[in-house]
């Protein structure tokens, strides 16, 4: 079997058009959509992600405010910045990028966000709403995983509900920002759900779990963790991992996923690759949430 490729770039392209139309419609009604990204310190990946989001926001005609704070800023100053953004009518969505420096309390910063502008659902109220199956905003990476799955199911003419009802979804990795929200969304689709973390690998049980998966979602941050022998024949594999890998010959760095693509492709029914799978949709989803936040604020 050679798996179909779930083309995240193509799916993101369609989503971009929808989000742009929605933002244009709001603007015509006098409501502006604005994304504020907050980076504290000089983390290379955060800055790169911030620049990428800025480019996509501009492309989708959504205003972007880049708030770069120095690593020695105090917690009170960060909270003051969040309060300013909460009050700013030109900002409809706020994203605080991780990691924060160790002297800043992540949970205090997340608690300070206005829930209606918390587009990545990190405020405890929004985390709770997501866990209850009534999310205000669906966090972008987990949303992207299921958006890809839904789009693929539509493309092969499978009924979404009956596919999920008869599927076991195994999620490798259970971080607060990716794995746990993905598990919540799998519950919402009324699938059978299994969550696997690093202990499964340490105990030599990873394959025992993953080989049961009808849908295998991998978000561990370990390059090549999932190989052909971890994949059940006919499974659908969604690779979330993004890992920098240097070519030993040239030193050139490129990004690889958590899944050995060639090995998994030979066994799976469909696979979302890295790059070109989850990532492109994640970025657009964040802008989508920013636009949805503007629309919701406009209703009040
Ligand atoms: P994280 O916070 O480091 O969490 C990793 C999770 O994977 C933890 O639950 C950890 O288990 C588990 N894990 C680690 N090693 C494992 C192993 N050998 N076997 C099984 N489970 C293992 O990372 P994250 O923020 O969730 O991100 C995960 C990956 O997704 C990263 O590569 C990241 O770059 C990528 N990512 C991609 C996107 C996108 O849009 N494509 C967005 C966000 C993140 P414990 O709980 O036991 O520690």
Residue 300 scores a pLDDT above 80:
no
Of 4, 67, 3, 17, the residue nearest 287 (C-alpha): 17
Residue 276 scores a pLDDT above 80:
yes
Coil, strand, or helix at residue 42? coil
Fold match between 32-117 and 139-279? yes
Of 126, 230, 144, 232, the residue nearest 182 (C-alpha): 144
Domains of the chain by residue range: 32-117, 139-279
What pLDDT, on a 0 to 100 scale, did the predictor assign at position 297? Answer: 94
CA of 242 relative to ligand 1 center, distance in Å: 9
Q: In Å, what is the CA distance from 235 to each residue of 66, 149, 169, 229, 231?
A: 41, 12, 10, 12, 7
| Pocket lining: 218 vs ligand 1, CB cutoff 6 Å | no
Instruction: Specify the DSSP class assigned to residue 266.
Output: T
Residue 299 scores a pLDDT above 90:
no
CA distance 289 to 198: 31
| Pocket lining: 241 vs ligand 1, CB cutoff 6 Å | yes
Element holding 300 (H helix, E strand): none
| Pocket lining: 175 vs ligand 1, CB cutoff 6 Å | yes
| Pocket lining: 46 vs ligand 1, CB cutoff 6 Å | no
Q: 169 CB contacts (<8 Å, ≥6 apart)? A: 186, 189, 191, 192, 193, 194, 213, 214, 215, 217
Q: Hey, what are 254's tokens?
A: 């490129």
CA distance 284 to 273: 17
The whole-model pTM stands at: 0.97
CA distance 145 to 180: 12
- Of 225-239, 248-262, 266-280, least confident by mean pLDDT is 248-262
What pLDDT, on a 0 to 100 scale, did the predictor assign at position 1? Answer: 76
Instruction: Specify the DSSP class assigned to residue 255.
Output: E
Q: How far from the centroid of its chain's Cα atoms is residue 20's Cα?
A: 19
Residue 219 scores a pLDDT above 90:
yes
Instruction: Specify the DSSP class assigned to residue 259.
Output: B
| Pocket lining: 277 vs ligand 1, CB cutoff 6 Å | no
Q: 254 CB contacts (<8 Å, ≥6 apart)? A: 244, 245, 247
Strand order in the sheet with 34-40: 63-69, 34-40, 93-96
Domain 32-117 grouped into CATH 3.40.50.10860: yes
Q: Which CATH superfamily is domain 139-279 in?
A: NAD(P)-binding Rossmann-like Domain (3.40.50.720)
Cβ-based neighbour number of residue 121 at 10 Å:
26
Element holding 252 (H helix, E strand): none
Coil, strand, or helix at residue 118? strand
Residue 63 scores a pLDDT above 80:
yes
What are the tens digits of pLDDT across the range 68-120?
A: 999 999 999 999 999 999 999 999 999 999 999 999 999 999 999 999 999 99
pLDDT band for position 127 (50/70/90)?
very high
What are the tens digits of pLDDT across the range 25-44?
A: 999 999 989 999 999 999 98
Residue 294 scores a pLDDT above 90:
yes
SS (H, E, C) 187-238: HHCCCEEEEECHHHHHCCCHHHHHCCCCEEEECCCCCCCECHHHCCCCCEEE
CA of 82 relative to ligand 1 center, distance in Å: 27
pLDDT band for position 212 (50/70/90)?
very high
What are the tens digits of pLDDT across the range 171-204?
A: 999 999 999 999 999 999 999 999 999 999 999 9
pLDDT band for position 60 (50/70/90)?
very high
């Amino acid at each position: 079997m050679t798996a179909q490729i779930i083309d995240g770039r193509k799916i993101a392209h369609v989503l971009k058009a929808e989000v742009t139309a929605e933002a244009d419609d709001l603007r015509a009604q006098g409501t502006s959509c604005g994304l504020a990204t907050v980076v504290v310190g000089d983390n290379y990946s955060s800055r790169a992600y911030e620049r990428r989001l800025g480019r996509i926001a501009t492309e989708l005609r959504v205003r972007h405010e880049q708030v770069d704070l120095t690593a020695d800023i105090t917690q009170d100053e960060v909270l003051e910045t969040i309060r300013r953004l909460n009050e700013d009518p030109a900002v409809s969505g706020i994203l605080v990028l991780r990691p924060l420096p160790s002297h800043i309390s992540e949970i205090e910063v997340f608690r300070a966000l206005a829930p209606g502008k918390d587009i990545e659902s990190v405020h405890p109220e929004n985390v709770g709403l997501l866990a209850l199956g009534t999310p205000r905003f669906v966090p972008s990476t987990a949303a992207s995983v299921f958006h890809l799955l839904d789009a693929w199911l539509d493309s092969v003419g499978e009924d979404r509900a009956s596919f999920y009802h008869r599927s076991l979804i195994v999620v490798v990795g259970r971080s607060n920002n990716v794995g746990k929200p993905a598990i919540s969304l799998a519950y919402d689709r009324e699938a059978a759900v299994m969550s696997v973390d690093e202990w499964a690998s340490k105990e030599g049980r990873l394959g025992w779990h993953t080989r049961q998966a009808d849908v295998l979602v991998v978000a561990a941050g370990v390059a090549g963790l999932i190989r052909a022998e971890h994949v059940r024949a006919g499974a659908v594999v969604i690779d979330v991992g993004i890992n920098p890998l240097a070519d030993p010959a040239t030193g050139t760095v490129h990004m690889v996923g958590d899944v050995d693509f060639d090995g998994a492709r030979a066994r799976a029914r469909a696979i979302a690759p890295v790059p070109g799978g989850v990532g492109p949709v994640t970025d657009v989803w964040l802008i989508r949430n920013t636009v949805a936040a503007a629309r919701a604020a406009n209703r009040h």
